[in-house]
Amino acid sequence: MMKQILSVSWISLRSLPQRLWLSLATILTIAVVVAVLLAFLAMSNGFRKTLEGTGSDDVALILRGGASTELNSVLSREDQAVLETAAGIAKNNGEPMISGELYVVVNGTKKTSGTKVNLPLRGLSEQGIAMRGPVTISQGRLFVPGRNELVVGRALLGEFDGFDLNSTVRFGATDWDIVGVFETGGTVFESELWSDLAGVQNQFNRGSSVQSVRAKLTSPDAIEDLKDFAENDPRLGVDVISEKDYFKEQSQSTSDLILVLGWPLAIAMGLGALAGALNTIYTSVAARARDIATLRAIGFSSLSAFFGTLSESLALSVLGGLLGAAVAWSFFDGLSTSTLGGGFTQVVFSFQLGGALLVQGAILALGIGLVGGFFPAIRAARLPVAMAFSDR
Partner 1 sequence: MTHGTLIWKNLTRYRLRFFLTTFAIFIAFFLFGILQSFDKALDAGAELAADDRLVVSNRINFTQPLPIAYVDRIRSMDGVLHATHQSWIGSYYQEPRNFIFGFAVDPESFMTVYQDDIVLPAEQIAAFIKNRRGVLVGADTAGTYGWALGDLVPISSNIWQQADGSKVWDVVIEGIFQSSRDELPANGLYMHYDYLNEARTFGKDFTGTVALTTTDPTLNDQVAQAIDFRFQNSAYATETRTEAAFNRSFVDQLGNIGLIISSVVGAALFTILIIVGNTMALSIRERTSEIGVMKALGFRASTVFSMVLGEAFGLAFFGGLIGTITAWGLVEIARNIPGFPFVLGFPTSVWLQAFGLMVVLGVLTGLFPAWNAYRLKLSTAFARV
The residue ranges that bind partner 1 (CB under 8 A) are: 21-22, 25, 28-29, 32-33, 35-36, 64-68, 71-72, 74, 104-107, 110, 112-113, 115-118, 170-174, 204-205, 209, 237, 265, 268-269, 271-273, 275-276, 278-279, 282-283, 337-340, 344, 346
User: Least separation, in Å, of the C-beta of 24 and partner 1?
Assistant: 9
Closer residue to partner 1, CB minimum distance, 133 or 367: 367
Q: How far is the CB of 73 from partner 1 (least distance, A)?
A: 8
Residue closer to partner 1 (CB basis): 215 or 273: 273
Do residues 37 and 262 touch, judged by C-beta distance below 8 A? yes
Least Cβ distance, residue 8 to partner 1 (angstroms): 23
Q: Indicate the residue among 304 and 346 with the shorter CB distance to partner 1.
A: 346
Smallest distance, partner 1 to C-beta of residue 102, A? 12
Could you tell me the smallest distance in angstroms from the CB atom of residue 33 to partner 1?
A: 7
User: Which one, 282 or 374, has the nearer CB to partner 1?
Assistant: 282
* Cα gap 259→253, rounded to integer Å: 10
Q: Which is nearer to partner 1, 24 or 142 (CB)?
A: 24
Print the SS3 string covering the chain.
CHHHHHHHHHHHHHCHHHHHHHHHHHHHHHHHHHHHHHHHHHHHHHHHHHHHCCCCCCEEEEEECCCCCHHHCCECHHHHHHHHCCCCECEECCEECEEEEEEEEEEEEECCCCCEEEEEEEEECHHHHHCCCCCEEEEECCCCCCCCEEEEEHHHHHHEECCCCCCEEEECCEEEEEEEEEECCCCHHHHCEEEEHHHHHHHCCCCCCECEEEEEECCHHHHHHHHHHHHHCCCCCEEEEEHHHHHHHHHHHHHHHHHHHHHHHHHHHHHHHHHHHHHHHHHHHHHCHHHHHHHHHCCCCHHHHHHHHHHHHHHHHHHHHHHHHHHHHHHHCCCEEEEECCCCCEEEEECCCCHHHHHHHHHHHHHHHHHHHHHHHHHHHCCCHHHHHCCC
Q: Nearest 5°: phi and psi at 119? A: -125, 145
47 vs 300, beta carbon nearer partner 1: 47
Cβ-based nearer residue to partner 1, 344 or 374? 344
Query: Would you say 130 or 265 has its CB closer to partner 1?
Result: 265
CB of 75 to partner 1, least distance (A): 11
Closest separation in Å from C-beta 44 to partner 1: 12
Shortest distance (Å) from residue 238 CB to partner 1: 11
